[in-house]
């Protein structure tokens, strides 16, 4: 059975906006069209198509004996000889040469972090915590691995939540044992010059950025003095950790020489400040400042909240010996495309094949938060999921919310993956970056009707290589297909905003209908958690090859995470 699919990419840059029907193609099951591989026909149950790379393997999957539920929090990184995947229930290492497990790491998080929990007190008793939200980086500037994870207090105060950090205890760049790390933890509610003032402080969704001098960790803060009621969103905080102390085994979370905090960066009453602040990875060997990015909160007027900006914060006065004097800027606006084309609208929950008629069958797209960021050659790149119509525009109504807007075209019916490039050359604590280009990967649909049946792309991540080529990874689904993983590529010589080589590297034939464990942002429809993120990393050996890990449906009601390596020179 053949289907026709049109892929549209919105192109925009400082010089203007244009729309391109970039690819129109016919696809049959398990066939290739040039470098494109179709997943449009679900008859190929669980079959993985030929790919442009021999390295394409399932890293982890749902394990009912140890799994904490969905989502897995899809995370991984590539090093000199290894790829390390870290999800909520397992950390596992693989050989880069063949994609097979190398036998070095294959542990639950509870075993990996066990040295931090000897049980001598409440704060060192593992049963008082839920471990979640792993992050991992290979620090190519220092040949070290860096891993972070949250240890969330099950009972709340007076047992505080922790953030844990593991850093390689040698500079070989190769992990030979689970003990090849220094292990640390800190209490985010109290570290730094100023402790939090919020009761029952919960540091949600800890992020990670690494540069030549520091680690930057951001959190959303939930607390009992939230404007949305006890236990709701309150603000966001950022922590800066001295990298040299982490790497030599002397890191002390009780001194501001080694860790500094920046509190209450987001005002939920006004919607100003970074929502889900992300530390920015920076590959410059001698940066003069560090960066944090975050989305603007969508608490504005209108039937569907939307925004027209993201935020950048600049951290200055950092040295390789201390972060005590570090300061943070005010909110610098990261501009987006002008007008409706740049509108950042909350994405809808999604329906995939065989769960469309299940009232509890939708899949959560999270929200408009940024999905990581990095700086290379004075250019900052970031991405996010946005809600769209079939024109690639973010309207102010959503199709499955029961709104009575008379215009079907003015509805959010799909999710798209939007990416940005900013010039950072002139950025200071008072000077914002300039937008170089932005694009949105979305499906314009089989017909002119703006319906929810078309493909959505969400949970994106991106990376550039030393030639300034870019990979954008994502999950995708529609009411006629199952959840799969894919990517798109662009090169520095391509027209501004253009993505091409859009490739799906899994073919799933299985539905995803778990017991609902969450509600959408209207609080009305249960949905299945997904993500909560994905990651593209760059091979530090050649500076060109991309390594992507994304979530997809491995078997019926079973998520898997799939890794693929892709040459940076692919066309």
* Tens-binned pLDDT, residue by residue, of the chain (571 aa): 222 233 333 333 332 222 222 222 222 222 222 222 222 222 223 334 444 667 999 999 876 555 566 688 999 999 999 999 999 999 999 999 999 999 999 999 999 999 999 998 888 999 999 999 999 999 999 999 999 999 999 866 679 999 999 999 999 999 999 999 999 999 999 999 999 999 999 999 999 999 999 999 999 999 988 877 777 788 999 999 999 999 999 999 999 999 999 999 998 877 789 999 999 999 999 999 999 999 988 654 444 556 788 999 999 998 888 999 999 999 999 999 988 788 888 787 777 765 554 555 678 888 889 998 999 999 999 999 998 888 888 876 554 444 445 466 667 888 999 999 999 999 999 999 999 999 999 988 765 677 777 889 999 999 999 999 999 999 998 888 888 999 999 999 999 999 988 889 998 888 887 654 443 333 334 567 788 899 999 999 999 999 999 999 888 888 899 999 999 998 7
What per-residue confidence (pLDDT) applies to 367? Answer: 86
**Strand extents, DSSP E, 336-427:** 344-345, 362-363, 370-376, 379-388, 414-423
What per-residue confidence (pLDDT) applies to 358? Answer: 52
What per-residue confidence (pLDDT) applies to 1? Answer: 27
**How buried is 154 (Cβ within 10 angstroms: 0-12 exposed, 13-18 middle, 19+ buried)?**
exposed
Q: Hunting for tokens 């999710």 — which residue is that?
A: 415
What per-residue confidence (pLDDT) applies to 299? Answer: 53
Spatial distance between the Cα atoms of 72 and 531, rounded to a whole number of angstroms: 6
Residue among 149, 148, 145 nearest 175 (CA): 145
Residue among 135, 418, 442, 471 nearest 295 (CA): 418
Cβ neighbours for 328, distance < 8 A, ≥ 6 positions apart: 238, 262, 265, 292, 313, 314, 315, 316
Give bridge partners of residue 388 from the DSSP assignment. Answer: 414
Spatial distance between the Cα atoms of 186 and 151, rounded to a whole number of angstroms: 10
Q: Where are the domains of the chain?
A: 1-61+340-547
What per-residue confidence (pLDDT) applies to 156? Answer: 63
Residue among 208, 199, 193, 126 nearest 162 (CA): 126
Q: Is the distance from CB of 291 to CB of 209 less than 8 angstroms?
A: yes
Spatial distance between the Cα atoms of 402 and 413, rounded to a whole number of angstroms: 12
Q: Is the distance from CB of 363 to CB of 340 less than 8 angstroms?
A: no
What per-residue confidence (pLDDT) applies to 220? Answer: 94
C-alpha dist (Å) from residue 222 to 196, 204, 307, 322, 386? 12, 7, 22, 29, 24
Dihedral-angle region of residue 433 (phi above 0 means left; psi in -120 to 50 means alpha; beta otherwise): beta
- What does R_g of the chain's alpha carbons equal in angstroms? 22
What per-residue confidence (pLDDT) applies to 230? Answer: 74
Residue among 179, 120, 135, 128 nearest 157 (CA): 128
Question: In this structure, how many other beta carbons lie within 10 angstroms of the beta carbon of residue 556?
Answer: 14
pLDDT digits (tens, 9 = 90+) for 34-74: 222 222 222 223 334 444 667 999 999 876 555 566 688 99
Q: Is the distance from CB of 219 to CB of 204 less than 8 angstroms?
A: yes
**Strand extents, DSSP E, 296-433:** 306-307, 309-316, 327-328, 332-335, 344-345, 362-363, 370-376, 379-388, 414-423
Q: Is the distance from CB of 308 to CB of 342 less than 8 angstroms?
A: yes
- Parallel, antiparallel or unpaired: strands 281-282 and 275-279: unpaired
């Amino acid at each position: 059975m053949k289907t026709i699919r049109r892929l549209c990419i919105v192109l925009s840059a400082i010089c203007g906006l244009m729309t391109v029907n970039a690819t129109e193609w016919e696809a049959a099951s398990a066939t290739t069209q040039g470098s494109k591989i179709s997943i449009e026909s679900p008859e190929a149950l669980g079959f993985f198509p030929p790919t442009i790379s021999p390295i394409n393997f399932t890293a982890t999957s749902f394990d009912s004996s140890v799994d904490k539920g969905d989502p897995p929090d899809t995370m991984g990184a590539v090093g000199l000889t290894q790829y390390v995947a870290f999800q909520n229930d397992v950390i596992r290492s693989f050989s880069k040469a063949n994609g097979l497990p190398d036998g070095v790491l294959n542990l639950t998080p509870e075993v990996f972090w066990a040295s931090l929990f000897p049980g001598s007190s409440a704060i060192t008793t593992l049963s008082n915590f839920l471990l979640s939200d792993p992050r991992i980086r290979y620090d190519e500037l220092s040949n070290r691995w860096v891993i972070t994870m949250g240890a969330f207090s099950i009972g709340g105060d007076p047992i505080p939540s922790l953030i844990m950090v593991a850093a390689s205890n040698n500079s070989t760049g190769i992990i030979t044992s689970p003990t090849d790390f220094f292990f640390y933890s800190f209490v985010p509610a109290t570290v730094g010059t100023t402790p939090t003032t919020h009761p029952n402080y919960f540091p949600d969704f800890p992020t990670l950025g690494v540069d030549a001098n520091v680690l930057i960790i951001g959190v959303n803060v939930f607390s009992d003095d939230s404007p949305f009621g006890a236990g709701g969103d309150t603000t966001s905080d950022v922590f800066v950790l001295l990298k040299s102390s982490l790497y030599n085994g002397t890191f002390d979370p009780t001194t501001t020489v080694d860790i500094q905090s920046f509190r209450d960066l987001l005002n939920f009453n006004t919607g100003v400040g970074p929502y889900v602040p992300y530390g920015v990875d920076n590959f410059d060997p001698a940066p003069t400042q560090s960066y944090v990015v975050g989305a603007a909160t969508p608490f504005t007027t209108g039937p569907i909240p939307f925004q027209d900006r993201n935020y950048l914060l600049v951290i200055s006065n950092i040295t390789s010996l201390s972060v005590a004097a570090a300061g943070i800027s005010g909110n610098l606006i990261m501009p987006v495309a002008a007008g409706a084309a740049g509108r950042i609208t909350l994405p809808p929950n999604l329906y995939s094949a065989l769960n469309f008629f299940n009232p509890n069958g939708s899949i959560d797209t999270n929200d408009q938060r940024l999905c990581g960021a990095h700086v290379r050659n004075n250019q900052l790149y970031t991405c996010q999921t946005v809600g769209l119509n079939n024109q690639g525009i973010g309207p102010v109504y959503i199709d499955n919310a029961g709104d009575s807007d008379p215009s079907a075209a003015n509805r959010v019916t799909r999710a798209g993956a939007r990416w940005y490039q900013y010039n950072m050359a002139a950025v200071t604590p008072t000077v914002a970056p300039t937008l170089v280009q932005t694009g949105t990967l979305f499906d314009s649909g089989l017909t002119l009707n703006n319906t929810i049946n078309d493909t959505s792309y969400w949970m994106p991540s991106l990376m550039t290589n030393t030639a300034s080529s870019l990979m954008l990874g994502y999950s995708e689904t529609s009411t006629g297909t199952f959840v799969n993983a894919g990517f798109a590529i662009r090169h520095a010589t391509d027209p501004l905003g253009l993505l091409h080589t859009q490739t799906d590297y899994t073919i799933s034939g299985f539905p995803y209908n778990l017991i609902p464990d969450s509600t959408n942002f209207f609080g009305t429809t249960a949905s299945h958690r997904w993500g909560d993120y994905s990651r593209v990393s760059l091979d530090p050996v050649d500076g060109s090859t991309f390594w992507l890990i994304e979530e997809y449906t491995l078997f019926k009601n079973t998520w898997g995470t799939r890794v693929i390596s892709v040459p940076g020179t692919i066309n």
